[in-house]
Amino acid sequence: MTKTATSLGVSRAAVSKVMMAYTNHGKTSSAKKNCGRKLQLSERDCQTLRMKVSKNYRTTAAKVKAELNIYLEDPVSNKTV
């Protein structure tokens, strides 16, 4: 383990953690997927938002929000827009 750590230029603890993860789980990548906060808008909603803003780029966030909420099931706030 020490030779591996020195040849790679990392600590022995890092090598130990990777080896332990590999022996326990059979892989070294993270098992976490889709972690973090969920998106408010779907990809289609983002496309609609871009389309509305590109047509009239001088409009306010409140007006864009009002137009966008017509199409959405869940209303969004000005911060989301």
Indicate the pLDDT class of residue 2, thresholds 50, 70 and 90: confident
The per-residue pLDDT of the chain, averaged, comes to 82
pLDDT of residue 32: 65
Domain boundaries, the chain: 1-31, 38-81
0.85 exceeded by pTM: no
Neighbours of 78 (CB within 10 A): 11
Q: Is the dihedral of CA 56, 62, 67, 71 positive or negative?
A: positive
Please report, for residues 2, 23, 48, the alpha-carbon distance to residue 7 in angstroms, rounded to integers and kept in the order given: 9, 21, 52
Cα of 37 vs its chain's centroid, Å:
7
